[in-house]
Structure 1
Amino acid sequence: MKNRVEELRKARKLNQDQFAKAIRVSRQTVSSIETGKYNPSLELAFAISDFFDLSIEEIFINERSAEK
C-alpha cells in the first residue's frame, strides 16, 4: 500500500518526531509507515486522516485497486 504521509507531513513542516507525538505513536512507526514497511491499523489510519483533515482514501492508496 502506498501512502502520502511523508508528503503531507513535510507540507506541514513537521519532522517525524513531532508528527509521531501528535498522533501518539513512536517516530519509528512514522518512519515505517512512510517507507511502506508497515501498514497502520484502521484506528491509526483514522488518526492520521483526522490530523491532516483528509479522507483515508486521499492518504492511503491501495495498489491493487489502482491497477483495476
Structure 2
Amino acid sequence: MAPPAGPVRAPEASGDAGVRIRAARKEAGLTQQGLSSAVQVSRQTIIAMETGDYAPSVYLALKVAKALHATVEQLWDTEPPL
C-alpha cells in the first residue's frame, strides 16, 4: 500500500511543536531561510512545520533538532515530563 499523497498533517492539533520549533530557531539566531538551508529543505517546509501543517520524517526531525541544538523530544514530545 502506498503512503498518502501530499503533506502529512502533524499529529498535534494545538500547534505546540511548531511554537517550540519557532522559539528554538529564534534562540539559535536562525531565520526560516537559514534553518531551511541548514537542513536542506525549502523555507516552505520550515513554515509548514512551524504552523503545524507538516510532520517531518524522523530523519528530517533529527536534522532540525541538531541544527537547533535541541533534541527531538524537546521539539516534538507531546508527553509532559514525569
TM-score range (shorter-chain normalised) is 0.7 to 0.9
Partner in structure 2 of residue 52 of structure 1: 68
Of the candidates 14, 24, 33, which is equivalent to residue 17 of structure 1?
33
Q: Which has the higher helix share?
A: 1
Q: What is the RMSD of the two structures over their aligned residues, measured on CA atoms? A: 1.3
Shift of 1:13: 2.1
Shift of 1:58: 0.7
- Tell me the number of residue pairs that the alignment of Structure 1 and Structure 2 aligns: 64
Larger Rg over CA atoms: 2
C-alpha distance in structure 1 between counterparts of 2:36 and 2:69, whole Å? 16
What TM-score, normalized by structure 1, do the two folds share?
A: 0.82
What TM-score, normalized by structure 2, do the two folds share?
A: 0.69
**Contact map agreement 2:28 2:68 (CA 8 A) in 1:** no
Name the % identity: 31
Q: Which has the higher strand share?
A: 1
**Once the two structures are superposed, what CA deviation does each residue of 1:42-65 show, in whole Å capped at 9, x if it has no partner?**
110111122123221111133xx4
Task: Give 5+ residue unaligned stretches, structure 2.
Answer: 1-11
